[in-house]
Amino acid sequence: MTKNELLKFIHDIAIVPVVKIDDAAKAVPLAKAMMAGGIPVAEITFRTAAAEEAIRNVTKACPEMVVGAGTVINPALAEKAVAAGAKFIVSAGLNPETVRWCNEHDIPCVPGVCTPSEIELGLSLGLDTLKFFPAEASGGVKMLKDFAGPFPQVKFMTTGGINPANLLDYARTPNVLAIGGSWMVKADLIENEQWDEITRLCSEAVTQVQGLEFVHVGINNADDKEAMKVAQAFAAFGMGINNGNSSIFMDKAIEVMKTPFYGEKGHLAFRCPDLERTVAYLEKKGFTVRQESVKYDAKGKMKICYFNEEIGGFAIHLVK
């Protein structure tokens, strides 16, 4: 995997569990539990003596799991981690020596920063993806939005104080590449071998991070005349008519189509902050993008798409 492929992989998975493990023998069942929950990536931290062996065990037993090493405070530790199989290096702070070692060895490195000066240091070392740590204590989403002004080219892996209650705020922040945290792999869950619970928490996080919200239903009609009849019937329920070119919106909830558009009966539209990510997520569930339906914004990011598969006679529509 090239650096860009790795970053795209992490972006699409969106959640990076931050693991602190005391018993390397538990690393493989832990990795399997995370993968079963839809998270084939993890940061195993050098906060315990078992980290190196845990990385080695997982990379050997689960080659499809992308393992990074965390809390890598110097080049020697980075070298150890990579020798054990780590595919990327993470640290809480930014040690230029570690970054240089990673650059020389072509190993993706995501050091931690929480100030503009540290971001500039990261940029000067050739990095444009950084870890924002400790996220909540350093100003959270508000701080990330302020970073976007002077540093529009920088993307952040955010960790520190993130959990299901504030996860979505981060997922909706455009300069967030992915969200890290320990809430789904807490030490006691690993200690007590609660693999099903870890799978459940991972799966819940992966769904939640999509930020999917139902926004409207589209109803297909043969022509303008039939559409107007349908719209007028809905107007009797107090809904406002907003007549457009190809459809009539009833408030924002019902889109009365003037043609038999996608879907046997119509479509269901869901809003989400990152269509590329949610397409990757839904593809794993068997949905395929209807290529001719895809539209992009000025920055080249997907803003609209439909899927080939229908639910109950309705095409599924994603919108930003």
Interaction site with ligand 3PG (CB under 6 A): 18, 70, 92, 133, 159-162, 180-183
Q: How far is the CB of 301 from ligand 3PG (least distance, A)?
A: 27
Of the two residues 138 and 278, which places its CB atom closer to ligand 3PG in the complex? 138
Q: Are 217 and 181 in contact (CB under 8 A)?
A: no
Q: How far is the CB of 226 from ligand 3PG (least distance, A)?
A: 54
Of the two residues 185 and 254, which places its CB atom closer to ligand 3PG in the complex? 185
Q: How far is the CB of 73 from ligand 3PG (least distance, A)?
A: 12
Of the two residues 166 and 194, which places its CB atom closer to ligand 3PG in the complex? 166
For the question of residue 310 being annotated catalytic, the response is no
For the question of residue 155 being annotated catalytic, the response is no
Of the two residues 71 and 220, which places its CB atom closer to ligand 3PG in the complex? 71
H-type alpha helices, the chain: 3-13, 27-36, 51-61, 75-84, 96-104, 116-124, 140-148, 167-171, 187-191, 195-208, 224-235, 275-283
CA angle 64, 112, 52 (to 5 degrees): 45
Q: How far is the CB of 263 from ligand 3PG (least distance, A)?
A: 41
Q: What does the DSSP 8-state code read for residue 128?
A: -
Residue 284: phi and psi, rounded to 5, are -70, -20
- Contact residues for 18 (Cβ-Cβ < 8 A; gap 6+): 42, 43, 45, 70, 159, 180, 181, 182, 185
- Quote the CA–CA distance of 106 and 134 in Å, as a whole number: 26
The residue annotated as part of the active site, out of 20, 43, 87, 255, is 43
The residue annotated as part of the active site, out of 20, 26, 87, 131, is 131
Q: How far is the CB of 189 from ligand 3PG (least distance, A)?
A: 13
Of the two residues 137 and 235, which places its CB atom closer to ligand 3PG in the complex? 137
Of the two residues 65 and 162, which places its CB atom closer to ligand 3PG in the complex? 162
Tell me which residue of 115, 240, 144, 133 sits closest to 180, measured CA to CA: 133
Residue type (1 letter), 249 = F
Return the residue matching tokens 């839809």.
38
DSSP codes, 248-290: EEETTTEEEESS--SSSSEEEEEE-S-HHHHHHHHHTTT--B-
Burial class (CB in 10 A: 0-12, 13-18, 19+), 269: buried
Of the two residues 37 and 181, which places its CB atom closer to ligand 3PG in the complex? 181
Alpha-carbon radius of gyration of the chain: 23
Determine the straight-line distance between the first and last CA of the chain, rounded to whole angstroms.
29
Q: How far is the CB of 159 from ligand 3PG (least distance, A)?
A: 3
What is the number of alpha carbons within 13 Å of residue 197 lying toward its C-beta? Answer: 12
Q: How far is the CB of 17 from ligand 3PG (least distance, A)?
A: 9
Tell me which residue of 82, 27, 66 sits closest to 193, measured CA to CA: 27
Residues annotated as part of the active site: 43, 131
